[in-house]
């Protein structure tokens, strides 16, 4: 069995400008890889050996990417991560279901964007999922709700707790920087995530003159990549992403 990690941190003394304070991470081997998302600066240590670097501000994308590498040789690129606070006040992230009933679950791994072998013309649709949230955000920002539904389907398979290998989070798989840019406080809250994601789509539609192909490419690869290549970047993942969202959009519009 592939060895992974049990990740835990203990809150330290509060600093004046950071309400969550400095935290020290300890990493212990268990069965597979775990991950967290946090907004405070941290110090990372492996089995008691603290690292010198710090990660401050925003979610722990670097830590996420580093730990995901450990899944590369596993039987599956998906994992469930449990997080809870133990009797010593230490927050723990693990792939083993804890004995306590007070825990939260995060799904980690591959969702919509990296799936292969899916027939996007035939795969079941999620016509009723998060209908109120999608319609409300679509009305506010003037975005086709079918487009929102197609993006959510392609990005997260409608799983609100999804976390990708790159650190994208929630239903619309927002990267932490994008989430902050559009005012998302909790990327795992469906209303917050969808509102931020639809706001981003509305911004992209205006930025690229309603050119849907470029909008979708920018959502996947970033607007700077689309500007740099003056169109869809020559990335296989991005081109496949545009193709599948366009298929899903056509189907959701029926």
Q: How many CA atoms lie within 13 A of 28 on its CB side?
A: 10
How far apart are the C-alpha atoms of 64 and 57, rounded to whole Å?
Answer: 14
Distance separating alpha carbons of residues 126 and 251, to the nearest angstrom: 11
Q: Which domains does the chain have, with CATH numbers?
A: 6-107 (no CATH), 131-252 (1.10.530.10)
d(CA 155, CA 153): 6
Q: What angle do CA 224, 229, 235 make, to 5 degrees?
A: 90
In this structure, are residues 69 and 63 in contact, taking their beta carbons and an 8 Å threshold? no
Please give the chain's pLDDT, 254 residues, in tens: 444 445 555 554 333 333 323 333 333 333 223 333 332 322 222 233 333 333 333 334 444 444 444 444 443 445 566 777 777 777 676 767 777 777 776 655 554 555 557 899 999 999 999 999 999 999 999 999 999 999 999 999 999 988 887 889 999 999 999 999 999 999 999 999 999 999 999 999 999 999 999 999 999 999 999 999 999 999 999 999 999 999 999 999 99
Taking the C-alpha atoms of residue 56 and residue 81, their distance in angstroms, rounded to an integer, is 23
The confidence score (pLDDT) of residue 241 equals: 96
Residue 209: count of CB within 10 angstroms of its CB: 8
Sheet holding 42-46, edge to edge: 49-55, 42-46, 23-28, 6-11, 91-94, 79-85, 104-108, 162-163
Q: Determine phi and psi for 191, rounding to 5 degrees.
A: -65, -50
Q: How many CB atoms lie within 10 A of CB 228?
A: 11
Output the six-digit token pair for 175: 């990267």
pLDDT of residue 8: 54
- pTM of the predicted protein model: 0.63
Quick one: how far is CA 24 from the chain centroid? 23
For position 155, what pLDDT does the model report?
Answer: 95
Inter-helix orientation angle 190-207/212-221, to 10°: 130
Q: Which tokens go with 5?
A: 């990690």
Confidence (pLDDT) at 61: 42
Yes or no: say if 175 and 168 are a contact pair by the CB < 8 Å rule: yes
Phi, psi angle pair for 6, to nearest 5°: -115, 120
The Cα-based distances of 128 to 2, 105, 189, 253 in angstroms read: 38, 23, 18, 13
CA distance 176 to 134: 21
Q: Which of 75, 121, 155, 237 is catalytic?
A: 155
Tell me if residue 155 is catalytic: yes
């Amino acid at each position: 069995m592939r060895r992974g990690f049990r990740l835990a941190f203990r809150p330290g003394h509060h600093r004046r400008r950071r309400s969550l304070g400095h935290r020290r991470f300890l990493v212990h081997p268990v069965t597979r890889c775990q991950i967290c998302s946090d907004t405070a600066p941290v110090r990372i240590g492996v089995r008691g050996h603290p690292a010198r670097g710090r990660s401050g501000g925003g979610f722990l994308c670097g830590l996420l990417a580093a730990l995901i590498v450990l899944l590369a040789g596993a039987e599956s690129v998906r994992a469930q991560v449990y997080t809870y606070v133990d009797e010593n006040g230490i927050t723990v992230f693990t792939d083993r279901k804890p004995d306590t009933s007070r825990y939260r679950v995060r799904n980690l791994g591959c969702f919509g964007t990296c799936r292969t072998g899916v027939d996007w013309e035939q795969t079941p649709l999620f016509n009723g999922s998060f209908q109120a949230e999608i319609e409300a955000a679509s009305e506010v920002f003037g975005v086709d709700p079918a487009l929102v539904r197609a993006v959510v389907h392609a990005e997260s398979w409608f799983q609100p707790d999804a976390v990708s290998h790159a650190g994208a989070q929630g239903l619309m798989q927002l990267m932490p920087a994008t989430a902050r840019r559009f005012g998302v406080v909790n990327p795992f809250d469906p209303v917050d995530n969808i509102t931020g994601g639809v706001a981003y789509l509305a911004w992209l539609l205006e930025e690229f003159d309603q050119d849907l192909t470029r909008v979708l490419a920018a959502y996947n690869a970033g607007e700077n990549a689309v500007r740099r290549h003056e169109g869809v970047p020559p990335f296989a993942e991005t081109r496949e992403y545009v193709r599948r969202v366009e298929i899903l959009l056509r189907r959701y519009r029926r």
